[in-house]
Structure 1
Amino acid sequence: MQVFHNKSKVIITCNKRLSPYLQDEVTALGYTIVRAFATGVELNITLTECIKLNLNLRCASQILYSIKSFKAVTPDDLYNEIKTIAWEELIDFTGYFSVTSNVDNPNITTPLFANLKVKDAIVDRMKEIKGIRPNSGSDANKAVVHLYWKDAEADIFMDTSGETLAKHGYRKIPGKAPMLEALASGAIYATKWDKKSPFINPMCGSGTLAIEAALIATNRAPGLYRMNYAFMHILGYNEEDFFAERRILKDQVVKNVDLKIVASDLSADAVDITRRNAQTAGVDTFMDFEVCDFELTPIPEGGKGVVVFNPEYGERLGVHSQLELTYKRMGDFMKTSCKGYSGYIFTGNPDLAKKIGLKASRKIEFYNGKLDCRMLEYDLYDGSKRDPNERVTKDLKED
């Protein structure tokens, strides 16, 4: 089964509301999208081409290569269909594999049972043909088989990613309530930041937004920080294909760039975590780290860059009233200290957002986990919004 060289349906998944940014990434890499949907895109490519996507995509979660599509009403149907697949040509019979699934079938009460039927079918076939059964479990660090089963329609995939691509590998110290790296990338793409003007991240926490901004601006792909993917554990894998793509990643890094990225936080521990994560990512030299209240964050003059906040949402008892003042102060800070910039506040609390005191020009929808969030955009005009010629004409008329 020459999966590395045969084209098949490939599904690239992502978190809800990241699909538009994932589509842009996939198209920029030169791929044609067959279908786009709320949690991903569909392509028709080889498994070898999946290697490049795994190493480059920032907003993706998994890249799934279709092995077979079939009808299955009952668990026995599922077992019988999966057992017909030549697993001995896909998985090392002396190796290890895991099974994941997305199941919506009236005959299944728990996805774990579906996983078990898939595993049993693979193991039983391998034992009949090879006389030995591969090991299996829940770890996704070797070969991974994925089942999609909705009603009577089923698809069985080789998950080419394994561990999620949404984590980019450099964040060794997570800090307190960190933003997922894929979400941070999507949020940065949504600002339409030009990757040259200042990027200011007050209340930076563990620094994910600021670090992702530096990675995007210097063209450092996530594949630079990871050396194990599930595609490496599929029979027929040629490691030279991986290392060839990795050399391309290294060559495309922009090393000489004049960047001004500021990460500030009132917590010295948070700033230390940000600095250490940035060092792991290799972008600390492009960043300024400040321990201060956000109102004292240094804002370069004339930069016309972006200011991005990701404050607490006030889900815990006793902090809501305190955060009302914080949100008001954020609005005041952007209005008085960030003129000429574009301001953004990422929040999952619409009541607190009302305390900002500025009118948002855009409300960009995201999910942070299962929490419905908005990134609010504010145009922080330097002086009057009106055309200066209009003001001069008006003054002449008054004279």
Structure 2
Amino acid sequence: MQVFHTKSKVIITCNKRLSPYLQEELKALNYDIVRDFPTGLELNITLTECIKLNLNLRCASQILYCLKNFSANTPDELYSELSEMPWEELIDFSGYFSVTSNVDNPNITTPLFANLKVKDAIVDRIKAQKGMRPNSGPDANKAVVHLYWKDSEASIFIDTSGETLAKHGYRKIPGKAPMLEALAASVVMATKWDQKSPFVNPMCGSGTLAIEAALIATNRRPGLFRMNYGFMHISGYDEQVFFAERRILKDQVIKNAALQIIATDLSEDAVEVSRKNAKTAGVDTLITFEVCDFADTPVPDTGKGVVVFNPEYGERLGVHSKLEATYKRMGDFMKQHCKGYFGYIFTGNPDLAKKIGLKADRKVEFYNGKLDCRMLEYELYDGSRRPDEERPKR
């Protein structure tokens, strides 16, 4: 099977509500989108083109290349269909593979059983053809096969990513309750930041928002931080294609960018973690870190920029009343020190959001894990409110 040079359906998945930002990325890379849905989109491309996308996309989770669509009502029918496929042409019979799935079938009570049937079909086919059987298990660091099965309709994919793309590879020290990198990139993209004016991030935690802002502004792609993908373990893979794409990534980096990115936190440990993560990402010299209360965060007097907060949401008992005062202070800080800026507060607690004391101009929907969240946007105009035609658009 010449999958690297054959066009097929490709599903690019993402976390719920990140699809609009994933679409922006694909359009910027000049790809035609066949369809979009809340957790991803569909293209018609080759497996070789998936290599480029794996290295470039910030908001994606997995890139799945379709091998076959078929009908199956029972596990035995699933096994029968898959055991007829030439897996010996795709997977090294002396190697290793894993199976993942998304299953909604009345004859399956646990996805693990469906995974087992897929694994058995692949192993039995390769053993029959080559006299040897590959190893399999849960690790996604080699070849990965993905099953989508809803009712009687099934599709089998190569997961060209392997480990999720939503983690960008630079955050070796996660810190406390970190924001997923793909979500952080989407949050930055959802703001009205022009990638030139100041980006101010009080309460920076492990620094993910500030780091993603620096990566976006300097065109540093996630592929610069990773050297292993699922596509590398499929027969026919040409490593020269990968290294050529990686050289393009290096050449695209904007060097000596004049950025003002400021990240502060009251915790010395958080700031130290942020510095280390930024150094791994190669953007530590572009971010000014400082230990201080958020109200003492230095805000450049440029008349424009963005200030982005990702405070606690008050999920734990006993902290809600304390956070009410914190949210009010955030509103006061933006009103008093951020005139001319756009202010953003990312929160999963609408009751606390009411304590900010400002009316949001826009509310952008996100999920942080399973928590329904909003990013609230405030135009912190200095003096009279700007006419609509003069306001930055997103």
1:300 to partner: Cα distance: 0.1
Matched residue type, 2:124: D
Trace 1:120-139 onto structure 2 (pairs within 5 A): 120-139=120-139
Matched residue type, 1:347: T
Q: Write the deviation string for residues 34-72 of structure 1: whole angstroms up to 9, x where unpaired.
A: 011100010000000000000000000000000000001
1:303 to partner: Cα distance: 4.3
User: Identity over aligned residues, as a percent?
Assistant: 81
Trace 1:74-89 onto structure 2 (pairs within 5 A): 74-89=74-89
**TM-score for the superposition, normalised by structure 2:** 0.98
1:197–1:303 CA contact under 8 A, matched in 2: no
1:345–1:375 CA contact under 8 A, matched in 2: yes
Instruction: Tell me which residue corresponds to 1:34.
Output: 34
Task: Give the whole-Å Cα distance in 1 for the aligned partners of 2:128 and 2:137.
Answer: 20
Matched residue type, 2:291: V
1:98–1:144 CA contact under 8 A, matched in 2: yes
Task: Give the whole-Å Cα distance in 1 for the aligned partners of 2:298 and 2:109.
Answer: 55
Task: Give the whole-Å Cα distance in 1 for the aligned partners of 2:214 and 2:302.
Answer: 20
1:127 to partner: Cα distance: 0.8
Instruction: Tell me which residue corresponds to 2:391.
Output: none
Instruction: Tell me which residue corresponds to 2:267.
Output: 267
Which of 1 and 2 has greater Rg?
1
Matched residue type, 1:318: G
Instruction: Tell me which residue corresponds to 1:378.
Output: 378
Q: Write the deviation string for residues 100-143 of structure 1: whole angstroms up to 9, x where unpaired.
A: 00000111000000000000000011111111110000000000
Q: Which runs of 5+ in 1 are unaligned?
A: 388-399
Instruction: Tell me which residue corresponds to 2:346.
Output: 346
Instruction: Tell me which residue corresponds to 2:206.
Output: 206
Instruction: Tell me which residue corresponds to 1:257.
Output: 257
2:126–2:132 CA contact under 8 A, matched in 1: yes
Matched residue type, 1:364: V
- SS of 2:322 mapped into structure 1: helix
1:64–1:157 CA contact under 8 A, matched in 2: yes
Trace 1:1-20 onto structure 2 (pairs within 5 A): 1-20=1-20
CA, structure 1 residues 36+219, in 2 after alignment: closer, same or farther (shift >3 Å)? same
Matched residue type, 1:113: F
Task: Give the whole-Å Cα distance in 1 for the aligned partners of 2:94 and 2:321.
Answer: 59
Instruction: Tell me which residue corresponds to 2:103.
Output: 103
Q: Write the deviation string for residues 347-382 of structure 1: whole angstroms up to 9, x where unpaired.
A: 000110011000000000000000000000000001
Task: Give the whole-Å Cα distance in 1 for the aligned partners of 2:16 and 2:234.
Answer: 29
Q: Write the deviation string for residues 317-374 of structure 1: whole angstroms up to 9, x where unpaired.
A: 1101100000000000001100000000000001100110000000000000000000
Trace 1:380-399 onto structure 2 (pairs within 5 A): 380-385=380-385
Task: Give the whole-Å Cα distance in 2 for the aligned partners of 1:257 and 1:91.
Answer: 44
Matched residue type, 2:242: F
Instruction: Tell me which residue corresponds to 1:390.
Output: none
- SS of 1:167 mapped into structure 2: coil
Task: Give the whole-Å Cα distance in 2 for the aligned partners of 1:192 and 1:355.
Answer: 23
Task: Give the whole-Å Cα distance in 1 for the aligned partners of 2:289 and 2:8.
Answer: 47
Task: Give the whole-Å Cα distance in 1 for the aligned partners of 2:344 and 2:386.
Answer: 22
2:229 is the alignment partner of 1:229 = yes
Instruction: Tell me which residue corresponds to 1:395.
Output: none
Instruction: Tell me which residue corresponds to 1:334.
Output: 334
Matched residue type, 1:147: L
- SS of 1:4 mapped into structure 2: helix
CA, structure 1 residues 10+386, in 2 after alignment: closer, same or farther (shift >3 Å)? closer
Task: Give the whole-Å Cα distance in 2 for the aligned partners of 1:65 and 1:386.
Answer: 48
Task: Give the whole-Å Cα distance in 1 for the aligned partners of 2:172 and 2:189.
Answer: 24
Number of residue equivalences: 387
1:168 to partner: Cα distance: 0.2
- SS of 1:154 mapped into structure 2: strand
Runs of 4+ in 1 over 6 A off after TM superposition: none
Task: Give the whole-Å Cα distance in 1 for the aligned partners of 2:327 and 2:261.
Answer: 22
Task: Give the whole-Å Cα distance in 1 for the aligned partners of 2:79 and 2:304.
Answer: 59
Trace 1:166-205 onto structure 2 (pairs within 5 A): 166-205=166-205
2:375 is the alignment partner of 1:364 = no
Between 1:62-71 and 1:124-133, the stretch displaced more is 124-133
Instruction: Tell me which residue corresponds to 1:144.
Output: 144
Matched residue type, 1:374: R
1:192 to partner: Cα distance: 2.9
Q: Write the deviation string for residues 81-115 of structure 1: whole angstroms up to 9, x where unpaired.
A: 01111000000000000000000011100000000
Task: Give the whole-Å Cα distance in 2 for the aligned partners of 1:265 and 1:339.
Answer: 21
Task: Give the whole-Å Cα distance in 1 for the aligned partners of 2:335 and 2:72.
Answer: 59
CA, structure 1 residues 82+136, in 2 after alignment: closer, same or farther (shift >3 Å)? same
Matched residue type, 2:64: L
Instruction: Tell me which residue corresponds to 1:302.
Output: 302
Task: Give the whole-Å Cα distance in 2 for the aligned partners of 1:139 and 1:380.
Answer: 48
Task: Give the whole-Å Cα distance in 1 for the aligned partners of 2:150 and 2:60.
Answer: 22
Task: Give the whole-Å Cα distance in 1 for the aligned partners of 2:48 and 2:303.
Answer: 43
Task: Give the whole-Å Cα distance in 2 for the aligned partners of 1:219 and 1:155.
Answer: 35
CA, structure 1 residues 145+363, in 2 after alignment: closer, same or farther (shift >3 Å)? same
Between 1:297-306 and 1:220-229, the stretch displaced more is 297-306
